Amino acid sequence: MLGPLDLIVPPVVLLTAVATLPFTLISHLVTGNISDLTSWPKLRHAWFKHFWWWFGPGSKPLFAASVRPLLAQASGTVLDIGPASGIWMPEFGEAVKNNPGKIKKIYGIEPNTLFHPQLLSQAKANGLEGIYEPVAAYAQDLEGKGIEKGSVDTVITVHVLCSVGDHAETIVKELYEYLKPGGQWLVFEHVASRNAPIKVFQNINNTVWPILLDGCALDHNTESTIRNAGQWDTVAIGPDPKDGYFETLPHTVGRLVK
């Protein structure tokens, strides 16, 4: 919470994304992997990989105080939706180490396969071999990957539902179906500002934000979307208490139980 200085965060992130594009282009030219430069979806995935390679770990300390207690509640069979490079893998490793058997399996649902080598490397480094499995799929395609509806104990979404475009309602309802009765959904997502002047500023930045950040958007009402996904027994989500008035990336955080 930086006060008015929070307003500089979106422009800084956007400039950072722009600065990583030349590195993406050069690395692909050097390695001869030209095919990724001939398709906008492929280029966008490759560009985001290079951006997130350092920005993800660099931004982690800003959110760790909110995310770590959340991830510590994970149990059973877990769907880790959109883990990218796996910056939260140490938290999963710590949970497994401190409470063996609490987490039986973690499926990292990551459609951008460029991140899969990093996920496997992170899993090995954090003692999660045989537990953490990257799955190349979108959330709406899990049945074709051998994951049955009603079989999941924990769904985790951390900074991912901002990137699903206009499909948020459909995807969230689909994920709800994978939870067992009594299963939990752990949420930490940045959302549209609740303050009208800041929301206008968000909307200005959002004209280019999805283009530069692989489809991520600033204006989603993710909290209400998840609340309306299905019948919940317990709903304990709301604004992150660490957010201030000028926060341009405000969050909703918490836990829902089916």
**Is residue 137 situated within a structural domain?**
yes
Q: Hey, what amino acid is at 104? A: K
Instruction: List, for the chain, all residue ranges whose pLDDT scores fall below the cut of 50.
Output: none
**Is residue 44 situated within a structural domain?**
no
SS3 state of residue 131:
coil
Task: Give the pLDDT score at 54.
Answer: 86
Q: State pTM to two decimals.
A: 0.93
Enter the tokens of residue 222: 């993710």
Structural domains counted in the chain: 1
Query: CATH number for the domain including 90?
Result: 3.40.50.150
**Is residue 22 situated within a structural domain?**
no
Contacts of 145 (CB under 8 A, 6+ apart): 135, 137
**Is residue 251 situated within a structural domain?**
yes
Average pLDDT for the chain: 93
**Is residue 45 situated within a structural domain?**
no
Contacts of 95 (CB under 8 A, 6+ apart): 71, 72, 74, 102, 103
**Is residue 19 situated within a structural domain?**
no
The per-residue pLDDT for range 114-170, each reduced to its tens digit, is: 999 999 999 999 999 999 999 999 888 888 888 999 999 999 999 999 998 778 899
Give the Cα separation of 11 and 257 in Å (integer): 37
Enter the tokens of residue 108: 């990292």
**Is residue 56 situated within a structural domain?**
no
Range of the domain at 102: 62-257
**Is residue 21 situated within a structural domain?**
no
Give the CB-side neighbour count of residue 143, counting CA atoms within 13 A.
7
Q: What number of helices (H) and strands (E) belong to the chain?
A: 8, 7
